Chains A and B, each alone.
Chain A
């Protein structure tokens, strides 16, 4: 077994990668958002793990902030998604390619 700190960071980066790959391949806006949330979860977990490692409570504070930011971002994102759906009649992110070329 490797040293103590590596396993949680390994887990965090795996979850981050899953989120990243999900972001790259998904077309639906809700799934893109889901993927962003997964990436935020992964970074938050890394913060908590490291705060445990270095016995510094700031990491856990950061975790709370990330949660708050994620919640706020979710609200704004949902509002944008609703407007998007009114305009384009679907939630296909590929429809937003007006800056093409």
Chain B
């Protein structure tokens, strides 16, 4: 019963704010908005503490033999707790961030609808309900990116995000249709079972469905080839960037692949594609992050890159590593975005790094929280959660048969580049001389969420440590049995402690070079700044032909036929209306004329 309350409470909050929100005073809207998500988090934590095992809660029979049902297993419980907990603290932060904005009812309503949809997505027991949540988060992403609707660029960015993810959704729909026709069911557990029975590993059907799912996941998670929307999505309010485009919606793709891991296990081709997409994205996004001038765009490309790491792990079969990194990334990326939000709130939404500077002294709250997040992102050895989760991924990738040395090396290169761009951003924003004054001061409503996120960013790392280093394996134990076993090499290429050292060294070198090399940086405008030309490519290859075709087809035969009736009637009306001159004498003439005609007819008949 409590399970159903988890997505229901934010949904009810959304309805309340939708109906009466505009008439409520500001403190009431903020309280209701935060309360909905906070109650959801409390319910999730209660469910977690009373978790007894895998269960399905069926609420009602929906369509055919598809039910509105929630499936609670280690994976969905993990996601549920993470989503609701992080969302709560971001909502608390937004109360202060939005305290001078209009339309907060719309903001908190959309945020609650988003949390409800995301929770439905992760708890769904069948693909149709998952699609409901999937589309819901896409809608809320549109509403929230375009929150400042008077800014036309934000509206265009929102449309771009929605359309790009929609293109990915075609993949999900095709996969669902295939599953329904070939396997006869959309229930996820039944689907996986039937697939395992009917299809051998490497079969064509499994590969097609898995590739379609991968396409859908790249759309939502902003990976190649559908990654172009994420940097532009930064035009929305910063808490939105923290919640949707760092911690939650962009992880929906990772969740989808992890959920259907049984299907990917049947298709080595698809799994290799996941690996390739992950590796390519993490490198390309890292390089693009190095060439950005805007702080939030650096963080956007950073998110893209880190989700590339998760895809890398998924492709190598290291599912628990991907989920662990998802968890730690949610916390430290939200921390990074909210620190940027402090800067934005206090300095008139100025995010251009070359116009900021010296914020270490002016905004110590932002500096220290950003620093903690940045060190986690760069995987500073031993004390940060990012180190443990990235290490879990890299060792999983190296030692699994599906992964390999090349994937591992791209992960290492990515770690180096991560250090570079992160500390470039820190050098430009926080060190040096201040170019923009600070007009606002942050308050406790901002400091407390930052503190909580920072604490968890450090502490959560200790849920899974390598064998040679404390050997804690809480995460691996939690997910035991949920995923297909990772296929390890029988003999290890390198001993584990040496991979640990190599990874740590790479991270630290990256941090050091990043700190030293960018002191005298200038604004940059290269092909990397513009996302490697993908926007222009898609504009030319997709947008131009589509607009041309739609303009061509605007006048179609049926429309013209229908309109021709209307046009005929109008022209006849205009013509016949000329009889009505409004003049008395003309009407008298008409009467006389008609009278003569009638009389003539009667007389001469």
Contact = CB atoms under 8 A, between A and B. Distances in A.
Contacts of B589: 24
Contact of B581 (A20, A24, A32, A97): A97
B583 A24 contact: no
Contacts, number: 33
> Which interface class (under 10, 10 to 19, 20 to 34, 35 or more) fits A?
10 to 19
Interface string A12-52: 00000000100111110000100000000000000000000
Contact of B585 (A25, A98, A99, A100): A25
A99 B580 contact: yes
Contacts of B25: none
Contacts of B580: 99-101
B585 A97 contact: no
B577 interface: yes
B592 A93 contact: no
A2 to B, nearest CB: 18
B49 to A, nearest CB: 78
Nearest to A26: B585
B592 A20 contact: yes
A32 B587 CA distance: 13
B581 A100 contact: yes
Q: Chain B's interface: helix, strand, loop or mixed, by majority?
A: helix
Contacts of A100: 580-582
A86 interface: no
Contact of B592 (A24, A26, A32, A94): A24
B498 to A, nearest CB: 93
A96 interface: yes
Contacts of B584: 32, 93, 96
B588 interface: yes
A101 B577 contact: yes
Interface string B562-605: 00000000000000010011111100110010000000000000
A23 B585 contact: yes
Nearest to B593: A24
B583 A97 contact: yes
A27 B582 contact: no
Contact of A23 (B581, B583, B588): B588
A96 B582 contact: yes
B464 to A, nearest CB: 82
Contacts of A98: 582
Interface string A77-101: 0000000000000000110111111
B573 to A, nearest CB: 10
Nearest to A95: B583
A4 to B, nearest CB: 23
Nearest to B577: A101
Contacts of B592: 20, 24
Which of A25, A27, A97, A98 has most chain B Cβ within 10 Å? A97
B588 A99 contact: no
A96 B585 CA distance: 11
A97 B592 CA distance: 20
B585 A93 contact: yes
Contacts of B588: 20, 23-24
A80 B582 CA distance: 18
A25 B589 CA distance: 9
Contacts of A99: 580, 582
Contacts of B585: 23-27, 32, 93-94
A94 B577 contact: no
A99 B586 CA distance: 13
Contacts of A26: 585
B103 to A, nearest CB: 46
A32 B583 CA distance: 12
B406 to A, nearest CB: 80
A11 to B, nearest CB: 19
A39 to B, nearest CB: 11
A6 B44 CA distance: 109
Nearest to B574: A101
Contacts of A23: 585, 588
B450 to A, nearest CB: 70
Interface string B223-240: 000000000000000000
Contacts of A93: 583-585
Contacts of B582: 96-101
B490 to A, nearest CB: 94
A91 to B, nearest CB: 12
A19 to B, nearest CB: 11
B26 to A, nearest CB: 54
Interface in A60-91: none
A68 B402 CA distance: 115
A1 to B, nearest CB: 23
A40 B588 CA distance: 16
A1 B395 CA distance: 133
A98 B581 CA distance: 9
Contacts of A96: 582-584
A16 to B, nearest CB: 11
A32 B592 CA distance: 15
A34 to B, nearest CB: 13
A26 B585 CA distance: 8
A79 to B, nearest CB: 17
Interface in B533-586: 577, 580-585
Nearest to A17: B592
A23 B591 CA distance: 12
A83 to B, nearest CB: 16
A94 B586 CA distance: 9
B550 to A, nearest CB: 38
Contacts of A20: 588, 592
A64 B302 CA distance: 106
Interface of B: 577, 580-585, 588-589, 592
- Closest A-B pairs by Cβ, 6 of them: A97-B582, A100-B582, A99-B582, A24-B589, A24-B588, A97-B583
24 contacts: A20-B592, A23-B585, A23-B588, A24-B585, A24-B588, A24-B589, A24-B592, A25-B585, A27-B585, A32-B584, A32-B585, A93-B583, A93-B584, A93-B585, A94-B583, A94-B585, A96-B582, A96-B583, A96-B584, A97-B581, A98-B582, A100-B581, A100-B582, A101-B577
Interface of A: 20, 23-27, 32, 93-94, 96-101
Given A24-B585, A94-B583, 10 more contacts: A23-B585, A24-B588, A24-B592, A26-B585, A32-B585, A97-B581, A97-B582, A97-B583, A101-B577, A101-B582
